[in-house]
């Protein structure tokens, strides 16, 4: 099944769909009713959403291949299969009629652990529980039933081959091979030997999973080939029997745990179709590092506004932002979105009115780059735009000069005395304007004239010595010293 992705976050799987709007939404895009309700609401039309199958938000097993190889590579798994492999190699190499008993017991213990791996993965856990005596000896019915399934398959295969010939036997063999993963899953879900040998149950599992089941079989087949290749590389004709038995046992168990973890994850992926509940540990782990998850974590109001804007509902988006800012005027995320929306709509009056408060808030929060950007937007549509607080002009103009935004700095400072007569910052603002003219715009003559007027008008100001020193330098530059 192809993953259905969110319309507004194209790389994030959708979890809800709106039949009315024909859009699919991820958890970060929906609106929710107040608790205890769990209903999801469409942010566009405000109607209830319909849930999409949970399997849509679970990564498919073929995207988790590296994970399956890590399962037997954990310290506890390696130690466990290492110990069993040593035991099997020792007892299997003893020429005794009774040596098969401990070998069978150890194989049973391994198969029990394989089912623990499968169950853990099937229930959405990324790590199996710690190995202890109770875990190994409890629920032995699962591996015993799996042994019995193999015995029944073998008996039926021999009977059919003898009764109906080798072609019928070979056909049945391929059916059994394709059905083995289904029998393992049935025992994991139902813990029933009768159902595990029921072809109708095999068909039910296979059809519910769909084509992914055949892909699973392909991967299991490739793992089987990998087992033979690995053992062929590690042992040779001259390898001691006990070493050969150890290598074959260890490699077999390693690859078998990969297979069981893969089958378990397929159960997890299609648990909704197969009818059992799981946790979401896998999805929590995968989401933690996702850049799209960061997008989903942005302010819900902003997310809903973005959706409304993308759907062309600008007036509704503006109303939502105005109401949100009325409740939370200090929210800079909301302010930024509202400013951009007003600029996009060319709502000049509202943009300038909002811009005054927005710039003031940004400067108070020491976000001078943002404040200068908003000022630039406002002065573009109204050249004589003034920020709300004259006490903030010097700080913002100084930052503009430091970032080489000389024209913006001069725009902030020009006419300051006319608009704010008697303000304490008039001398230092005009001194800053002279520095902008000289150092930034290379207009030394204008800077000289401004400084001379400033020194004459404020002869007793504390900045006069600095002004005079700067004026001396400028006169040298202009040749009027």
pLDDT tens profile 250-300: 999 999 999 999 998 888 888 767 765 555 555 544 444 333 443 444 567
According to the model, what pLDDT value does residue 289 have? 38
According to the model, what pLDDT value does residue 135 have? 74
Helices (H), 270-313: 271-274, 281-287, 291-296, 300-310
List own/partner pairs for 370-376 with CB under 8 A and 24 or more apart: 370/332, 370/336, 371/396, 372/396, 372/399, 372/400, 372/403, 372/405, 372/408, 374/339, 375/408, 375/412, 376/405, 376/408
CA atoms within 13 A on the CB side of 396: 31
Q: How is residue 366 written in tokens? A: 């020491």
Q: Has residue 387 got a pLDDT over 60?
A: yes
Instruction: Name the 3-class secondary structure at 452.
Output: helix
List own/partner pairs for 126-133 with CB under 8 A and 24 or more apart: 126/67, 126/281, 126/282, 126/285, 127/74, 128/71, 128/74, 128/76, 128/77, 130/76, 131/76, 131/80
Q: Among the listed ranges 108-117, 131-140, 216-225, 415-424, which one has the minimum average pLDDT value?
A: 131-140
Q: Which of 316, 304, 370 is nearest to 345 (CA)?
A: 316
Distance CA 58, CA 209 (A): 14
pTM beyond 0.75, yes or no: no
The CB density around residue 422, as the number of other CB atoms within 10 Å, is 6
Cβ atoms of 31 and 43 closer than 8 Å = yes
Q: How is residue 15 written in tokens? A: 């979890």
Q: Has residue 110 got a pLDDT over 80?
A: yes
More confident site: 54 or 150: 150
According to the model, what pLDDT value does residue 86 have? 93
According to the model, what pLDDT value does residue 12 have? 77
**Top mean-pLDDT range of 122-126, 349-353, 464-468:** 349-353
More confident site: 130 or 283: 130
> Which whole number is the average pLDDT over 380-408?
92
According to the model, what pLDDT value does residue 391 have? 94
Q: Has residue 84 got a pLDDT over 90?
A: yes
Q: Which helix (H) or strand (E) holds 51?
A: strand 50-51
Q: How is residue 1 written in tokens? A: 């099944």
> Which whole number is the average pLDDT over 79-100?
87
What's the pLDDT band for 354 if we cut at 50, 70, 90? very high
Cα–Cα distances (Å) from 49 to 18, 22, 29, 149, 299, in that order, read 5, 10, 12, 45, 21
Distance CA 204, CA 155 (A): 23
Please state, rounded to an integer, the average pLDDT across all residues of the chain. 84
According to the model, what pLDDT value does residue 177 have? 87
Cβ atoms of 253 and 87 closer than 8 Å = no
Q: Give percent above pLDDT 90 in the chain.
A: 28
Distance CA 357, CA 346 (A): 18
Instruction: Name the 3-class secondary structure at 302.
Output: helix
Q: How is residue 305 written in tokens? A: 């506004």
Q: Has residue 372 got a pLDDT over 90?
A: yes
> Which whole number is the average pLDDT over 153-181?
89
More confident site: 291 or 102: 102
Cβ atoms of 11 and 54 closer than 8 Å = no
Instruction: Name the 3-class secondary structure at 235.
Output: coil
Q: How is residue 139 written in tokens? A: 């629920």
What's the pLDDT band for 27 if we cut at 50, 70, 90? confident
CA atoms within 13 A on the CB side of 463: 19
Distance CA 357, CA 342 (A): 14
Q: Among the listed ranges 262-276, 384-398, 409-423, 452-466, which one has the minimum average pLDDT value?
A: 262-276
Cβ burial of 209 (10 Å; 0-12, 13-18, 19+) is buried
Determine the angle formed by the axes of helices 314-327 and 332-345, rounding to 10 degrees. 150
According to the model, what pLDDT value does residue 349 have? 92
More confident site: 63 or 207: 207
Cβ atoms of 449 and 419 closer than 8 Å = no
> Which whole number is the average pLDDT over 22-51?
80
Cβ atoms of 325 and 338 closer than 8 Å = yes
Q: What is the dihedral of CA 365, 366, 369, 372, to 10 degrees?
A: 80
47-81 pLDDT, tens digit each: 888 777 656 667 778 888 888 898 888 888 899 99
């Amino acid at each position: 099944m192809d993953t259905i992705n969110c319309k507004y976050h194209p790389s994030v799987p959708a979890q809800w769909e709106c039949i009315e709007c024909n859009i699919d939404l991820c958890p970060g895009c929906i609106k929710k009713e107040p608790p205890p309700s769990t209903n999801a609401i469409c942010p566009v039309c405000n109607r209830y959403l319909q849930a999409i199958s949970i399997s849509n938000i679970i990564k498919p097993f073929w995207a988790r291949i590296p994970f399956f190889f890590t399962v037997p590579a954990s310290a506890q798994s390696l130690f466990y299969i290492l110990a069993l492999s040593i035991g099997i190699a020792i007892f299997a190499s003893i020429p005794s009629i009774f040596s098969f008993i401990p070998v069978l017991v150890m194989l049973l213990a391994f198969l029990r652990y394989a089912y623990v791996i499968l169950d853990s993965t099937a229930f959405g856990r990324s790590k199996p529980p710690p190995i202890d005596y109770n875990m190994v000896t409890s629920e032995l019915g699962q591996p015993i039933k799996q042994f019995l399934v193999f015995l029944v398959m073998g008996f039926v295969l021999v009977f059919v081959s003898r009764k109906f010939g080798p072609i019928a036997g070979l056909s049945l063999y391929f059916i059994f091979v394709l059905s083995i993963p289904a029998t393992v899953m049935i025992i994991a879900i139902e813990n029933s030997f009768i159902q595990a040998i029921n072809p109708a149950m095999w068909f039910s599992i296979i059809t519910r999973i769909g084509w992914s089941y055949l892909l699973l079989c392909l991967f299991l087949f490739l793992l089987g080939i990998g087992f033979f290749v690995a053992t062929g590389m590690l042992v040779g004709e001259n390898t001691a029997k006990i070493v050969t038995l150890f290598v074959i046992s260890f490699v077999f168990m390693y690859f078998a745990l990969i297979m069981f973890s893969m089958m378990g994850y397929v159960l997890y992926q299609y648990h909704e179709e197969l009818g059992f509940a799981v946790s979401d540990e896998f999805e929590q782990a995968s989401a933690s590092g996702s850049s799209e998850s960061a997008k989903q974590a942005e302010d819900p109001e902003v997310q809903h506004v973005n959706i409304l804007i993308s759907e062309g509902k600008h007036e509704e988006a503006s109303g939502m932002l105005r109401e949100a800012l009325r409740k939370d005027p200090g929210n800079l995320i909301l302010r930024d979105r509202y400013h951009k929306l007003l600029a996009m709509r060319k709502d000049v009056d509202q943009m300038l009115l909002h811009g005054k408060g927005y710039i003031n808030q940004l400067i108070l929060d020491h976000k001078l780059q943002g404040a200068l950007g908003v000022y630039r937007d406002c002065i573009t549509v109204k050249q004589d735009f003034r920020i709300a607080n004259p006490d903030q002009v010097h700080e913002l103009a100084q930052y503009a000069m430091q970032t080489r935004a000389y024209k913006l700095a001069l725009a902030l400072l020009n006419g300051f005395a006319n608009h704010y007569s008697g303000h304490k910052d008039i001398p230092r603002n005009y001194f800053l304007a002279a520095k902008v003219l000289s150092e930034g715009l290379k207009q030394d003559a204008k800077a000289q004239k401004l400084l001379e007027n400033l020194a004459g008008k404020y002869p007793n100001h504390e900045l006069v010595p600095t002004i005079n020193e700067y004026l001396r330098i400028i006169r040298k530059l202009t040749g009027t010293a």
